[in-house]
Structure 1
Amino acid sequence: MSSDIEQKRIVIKIGSSSLTSRHGEISHRKLEKLACEVVTLKDAGHEVVLVSSGAVAAGYRKLGCLERPTTLTEKQAAASIGQGLLMETYSKLFMSNGYVASQILITRSDFLDEIRYKNVRNTLNVLLKRGIIPIVNENDTVTIDRLKFGDNDTLSAKVASIVDADQLIILSDIDGLFDGHPGLNKNAKLIPQVNQITPEIEAVAGDSDSSVGTGGMRSKIEAVKIALASGIPTFLGNASKDQIAVNALSGKARGTYFTIEKPQIQLNQKKKWIAFHSHPEGEIIIDQNAKERMVDDHVDLTLSGIHDVKGPFNKGSVIRILDKSGRKIGCGVVKVSSKELQTLKKKVDTPSVNKTIIDSTDFVCHEKVLITV
C-alpha cells in the first residue's frame, strides 16, 4: 500500500456467507484472506475494527444440527460454540502477524443506555490506541428479539459511528448495489456511486439468497443510512475479491461507494447518542414560537411552549418533539417525567413554574441532521 495514503480509522463488516463453507463450517481459507487484508491495513498504520458475523453458522454443526437452527434457543447455543471457534481462529491468524485481537460482544441495549454507550466507546478507543484489533459481534447467546440489532450490517454502522470512523466497509457475497436483481436479471448493472439514499435507491434493495446469512441488501441500505447520517462514507463490495478492503480504502475496488452529498453538522458525543442510538420513549408537541426558538435561536424549550404531552416517559428519557401538525422536529433529553409535566402544564400561567423542560445542549434538530432513531 502506498505510504502517502492518509491513515484512517476503518470499520470492516464481514457477513456469514463470506466466512463459512457451503456446508456451514468455518472456512479457514476465507478467514485467512480477510485477516491478511486487515494486516495489510494495520501495517500501513490504519486502525481497524472488525465486525464479524458467523458465530451461529460456525457453531450449529458442532451443536449437532444438520441445518441452520430456526429456534432462538438453538441459535443461542450454536452461537456460544461458534463465537469461540471464530475468535480462536482470528486470534491465531492475527497473532502470527504480530497483532493482538480482542472480542467485544454487544447488544442493542448497550447503545440505548447512555452510560453503557460511553463504556463501549471508551473500551474501543483504548483498544484502537493500543494497536489492538477489536472483533465485534452481537451477543447472540443472550440477546432477545426486542434487543437485537437485526443484523450485523446495522451493528457495523453503529460501531462506525461510536468510534468516529473515517470509513465503513461492508463485505458480503455480492459485488455491490445493482439497478435490478442480478440473480434474476442478467442485464442488471452495478451502481458504482451513490451520493444520496433516495426512494429509488431503496426500491432496488432486495433480500439475500444466502442460507447462512441474514442481512440482505435492504439491511445494508439501512446501515448505509445510519453511517452517512453520522458523516461516514461507506463501501459495499464482494468479500471474495482480491484485496477488496485494501482497494476500497483507496477507491480502486469494484463495488458501490456511498458518499455524503453535503457535509453533516458535526455533533458531540452526547448529541450523537441522542440522534442515532437512543430510543425515544414519548412525545412532546410544541407551538410554532417554541419551534422557531429551538431550531433557529438554539434556545431551551420551556414549559410555556408545550402544547401537548404523549407519554409515558421518565425524567432523563429521550423523547420526540413534534409540531402541532405532527411533523417531527427532533429529539431531546427531558428534565421531568410525563406525569410531572402534565401537572406543571396546569400551572403554566404561573411565572415561577415556567421552567426549562429540554436544554438546547440536549436537543438535536431533525431538519439539520438525519436522525435515524
Structure 2
Amino acid sequence: MTSDKQRKRIVIKIGSSSLTSMNGELSRRKLEKIVEEVVQLKDDGYDVLLVSSGAVAAGYRKLGCLTRPEGLPEKQAAASIGQGLLIETYSDLFISHGYVASQILITRSDFSDESRYDNARNTINVLLDRGIVPIVNENDTITMEFLKFGDNDTLSAKVAGLIDADQLIILSDIDGLYDSDPRKNENAELLTKVNEITPEIEATAGEPGSSVGTGGMKSKIEAVKITMASGISSFIGKSSTAGIIYDAVYNNAVGTYFEPQDTISNLNQKKQWIAFNSGPEGEVTINHSATESIIENQTSLETSAVHSVNGRFKKGAVVKIFDMNGDEIGLGVVNYSSKALDQLVNQADIDLEKYQKAAIESEQLVCLLDTNALVGV
C-alpha cells in the first residue's frame, strides 16, 4: 500500500449506459461491479473519485415516464428523484465494503467563479485525504440548459484537473478510440496509445452511441484534450469488460491510453482555471509584435501592446486576447478595468504613475497556441 504522500489519484467517469439496465432503469448489478473494482483500488492505496451519470436515467421511470424525457422540466424532475436513488445505492454498496461515499453536485458556475472553484478543490481534498469516495455529478435538478457542462466527459476532465489527478478513466460502451467508426467499418482498428490529438483523430469521433447517454466519442476526445493540457493521463475503455477499471490503472486493459507528450507545458491550477473554467468577460486586441512575443516567449502583456478594448470588465477579470487579424490567441487575468485600459490605449488624461503594471502578467496568461492540446478547447 502506498503512503499518503505517494497516493495516486484516479478519476473515473461512468456514463448512464454503464449504470442502467436494458429498459433504462438503474442496474444494481452494474453498480456492484463498478464499486468492487473501486474497492480494489482503494485497498491498494489509491484515492478514487467517481464522476457518475445516471440521475435522469435512474429517475425518469419513477416519475411515470416510459421513455427518457426530452423537456427540461421533466429531465430535472427525473434527476431530483434519480440523484437520491443513485447516491443511496452507491453509499450502501461502499459501506458494505467498509468505505464511505459522499455526494457532490456541481454546476458550471461553481467552476467559473474562482473562489468557488478553490472551495470545491479544498472540500474534495479533505474527503480524499480522509479516505472518502467522492461521487460527483452535475446538478441536473437546477442547472439551466445553457449553463450546463454539456456532458459528464467534460466535467470529469475538469474535475481531474481540479484535484491534480494522475489518471482519468472514461468508461464507455465501446472499447476505445478506433481509426474509423467500428459501427460502419468492420476493419476499423483500435488505437491503443495516443500522444497527440490530431485533426484526423478528431474527425473519427462520432455522435452518441447509446439512447441513454448524452456523450459520444467526440465529447470524450474534447475531455482528453483538457487532461493532456493539464499533464494528466487518460484511458477510454468499455465498461462491460471484466476488471476494466482495475486493469486500466495498472496498464493492462484493452482500450485507448492517452499520454501527454513530454514537450507539452502542463498548466498549473491557476492556468487551468483561466483556460477551461473562467468564463471571459471582455476582449483585448493586441499589436503584431506583442502577439509574436506571447506565442514564442509567454511574456507578460504590457499596456503599450494593447490596441483596443471591447466589453466592460473590472480589474481581475478574465479576458480573451485577439491578434490584429481577429484570431483568438489566449486568455488572461487583467490588472486594469476596461475603462482604465481604454484610457491608456487612447492616451487620455490619466495618472500614468498609477498604472505601472503590465496589462496581464505572464503567470496570469494562457496562450491557446502554446500546445496542440489547447487548440479548439
Residue range with higher mean Cα deviation, 164-173 or 274-283? 274-283
8 Å Cα contact 1:302/1:354 also seen in 2: no
Residue range with higher mean Cα deviation, 172-181 or 143-152? 172-181
Corresponding position of 1:362: 364
Q: In structure 2, what is the Cα distance between the partners aligned to 1:299 and 1:17?
A: 46
8 Å Cα contact 2:274/2:366 also seen in 1: yes
Residue 101 of structure 1 deviates from its aligned partner by: 0.2
| Residue 117 (structure 2) pairs with residue 117 (structure 1) | yes
* CA RMSD between the two structures: 2.2
| Residue 101 (structure 2) pairs with residue 101 (structure 1) | yes
Q: In structure 2, what is the Cα distance between the partners aligned to 1:353 and 1:271?
A: 27
8 Å Cα contact 2:60/2:79 also seen in 1: yes
Residue 223 of structure 1 deviates from its aligned partner by: 0.7
* TM-score normalised according to structure 2 size: 0.92
AA at the equivalent of 1:121: R
8 Å Cα contact 2:224/2:258 also seen in 1: yes
AA at the equivalent of 1:361: E
8 Å Cα contact 1:24/1:58 also seen in 2: yes
Structure 1 residues 304 and 2 mapped into 2: Cα distance closer, same or farther (>3 Å)? closer
Corresponding position of 1:281: 281
**1:49-60 to 2 correspondence within 5 Å?**
49-60=49-60
Cα deviation 1:262-310 (Å, max 9, x = unaligned): 3432443222211222112222111234345555666543322211112
User: Helix, strand or coil: the match of 1:301?
Assistant: coil
8 Å Cα contact 1:169/1:245 also seen in 2: yes
Corresponding position of 1:36: 36
User: Helix, strand or coil: the match of 2:262?
Assistant: coil
Give unmatched runs, 5+ long, in structure 1.
Answer: none
Q: In structure 2, what is the Cα distance between the partners aligned to 1:338 and 1:315?
A: 8
**1:204-223 to 2 correspondence within 5 Å?**
204-223=204-223
Residue range with higher mean Cα deviation, 261-270 or 27-36? 261-270
Identity of matched residues, %: 62
Q: In structure 1, what is the Cα distance between the partners aligned to 2:124 and 2:263?
A: 26
Corresponding position of 1:146: 146
Q: In structure 1, what is the Cα distance between the partners aligned to 2:22 and 2:2?
A: 36
Structure 1 residues 341 and 196 mapped into 2: Cα distance closer, same or farther (>3 Å)? same
Structure 1 residues 17 and 306 mapped into 2: Cα distance closer, same or farther (>3 Å)? same
* TM-score normalised according to structure 1 size: 0.93
AA at the equivalent of 2:322: L
Give unmatched runs, 5+ long, in structure 2.
Answer: none
Residue 338 of structure 1 deviates from its aligned partner by: 2.1
8 Å Cα contact 2:60/2:78 also seen in 1: yes
User: Helix, strand or coil: the match of 1:358?
Assistant: coil
AA at the equivalent of 2:80: S
User: Helix, strand or coil: the match of 1:320?
Assistant: strand
Residue range with higher mean Cα deviation, 291-300 or 134-143? 291-300
AA at the equivalent of 2:210: S
How many residues of Structure 1 are paired with residues of Structure 2 in the alignment? 371
Q: In structure 1, what is the Cα distance between the partners aligned to 2:196 and 2:348?
A: 44
8 Å Cα contact 2:57/2:82 also seen in 1: yes
Residue range with higher mean Cα deviation, 196-205 or 272-281? 272-281
Residue 139 of structure 1 deviates from its aligned partner by: 0.2
Corresponding position of 1:48: 48
AA at the equivalent of 2:119: N
Cα deviation 1:189-239 (Å, max 9, x = unaligned): 211111111111011111123111110111111111111111111100011
AA at the equivalent of 1:364: V
Structure 1 residues 184 and 40 mapped into 2: Cα distance closer, same or farther (>3 Å)? same
Q: In structure 1, what is the Cα distance between the partners aligned to 2:257 and 2:295?
A: 32
Q: In structure 2, what is the Cα distance between the partners aligned to 1:307 and 1:106?
A: 38
8 Å Cα contact 1:304/1:348 also seen in 2: no
AA at the equivalent of 1:172: S
8 Å Cα contact 1:302/1:355 also seen in 2: no
**1:259-298 to 2 correspondence within 5 Å?**
259-291=259-291, 294=294
Q: In structure 1, what is the Cα distance between the partners aligned to 2:163 and 2:185?
A: 39
8 Å Cα contact 1:80/1:141 also seen in 2: yes
Corresponding position of 1:170: 170
AA at the equivalent of 1:75: K
Q: In structure 1, what is the Cα distance between the partners aligned to 2:31 and 2:234?
A: 22
Corresponding position of 2:126: 126
8 Å Cα contact 2:231/2:267 also seen in 1: no
Corresponding position of 1:197: 197
8 Å Cα contact 1:304/1:354 also seen in 2: no
Q: In structure 2, what is the Cα distance between the partners aligned to 1:366 and 1:204?
A: 23
